[in-house]
Amino acid sequence: MCQEMFTDLFPVLLKLDEIMAEETKKGGCSCGGKLHRACYPRKPRGAPLEVAADEAYQQRLSFCCDREGCRRRTTPPSVLFLGRKVYLGAVVVVASVLRQGPTPARLEQLRHLLGVSARTVKRWREWWVSSFARSDFWKASRGLLRFPLEERRLPMSLLELFQAKEVDQKLGLLLRFISPLTTVSAQSS
C-alpha cells in the first residue's frame, strides 16, 4: 500500500515543486537581476525505483542571478525534498508517523519498503519533536492553527489536521505547509 501511494503521489509533488519554482523565478533576485535555472543534483532516497530512475526527481530546482557581482543562488521551497535531508520529504513524514506506533515488524517493513534503518527513523522522530518543534517556522505557524497540536505526536498530529479524503492528499498538504523549511532562510531555530 505504501509503495503504491508513493508512486501516485510523487508526480503531484514534482508538479507542485515546478509551480513553486516558477513563482520564485518570476519574482527575480532581490538585487533586481533575472534568475536563470541552476539546479543541483539530488539522490531521491526512499523513492520507488521508477521514481528514483527518473531524472526529473534527481535534481533540486534552484536559480542563480544573472547580474555580475551578485550571482546569488535562490532556491524555492520544495515539497519533494525536506531541506538537506537525504530522503524525500514524503518518506521522512510517513516513516516518522509509522514510528509513533513502533513495533519491530513495522520498522522492518520500513526498512524493506523504503530502505530506511530503524536508527534513521528514530533520528527523524527526534527531529520532529525537538528541532522542528523549536524552529522559528513552527513557532510562527502554530499560532495560525485553529487548535493546538500535541507536539510530542508530530508529525501525526499535524497530518491529522489536514482535511482530505486520502492519506496521500493529506501528506501532500502537510508537505506544502512545511515547504518553507526547505529553504535556507527558514531553517533557523
189 found inside a domain: no
Residue with cell 489536521: 161
The burial class, CB within 10 Å (0-12 / 13-18 / 19+), for 141 is middle
Q: Per-residue pLDDT averaged across 68-96, rounded?
A: 89
pLDDT of residue 166: 85
Position 70 in a domain: yes
Classify residue 188: in a domain, yes or no.
no
Q: Are 73 and 107 in contact (CB under 8 A)?
A: no
Task: Tell me the residue range of the domain where 118 lies.
Answer: 2-183
Burial zone of 139 (CB within 10 Å; 0-12 exposed, 13-18 middle, 19+ buried): exposed
Task: Band the pLDDT of 146: cuts 50, 70, 90.
Answer: confident
Q: For the CA atoms of 128, 3, 176, 58, what is the dihedral angle to 10 degrees?
A: 100
Q: How many structural domains are present in the chain?
A: 1
**∠ CA(173), CA(176), CA(180), 5° rounding?**
150
The pLDDT assigned to 83 comes to 83
| Residue 36 domain-assigned (yes or no) | yes
Mean pLDDT of 112-116: 78
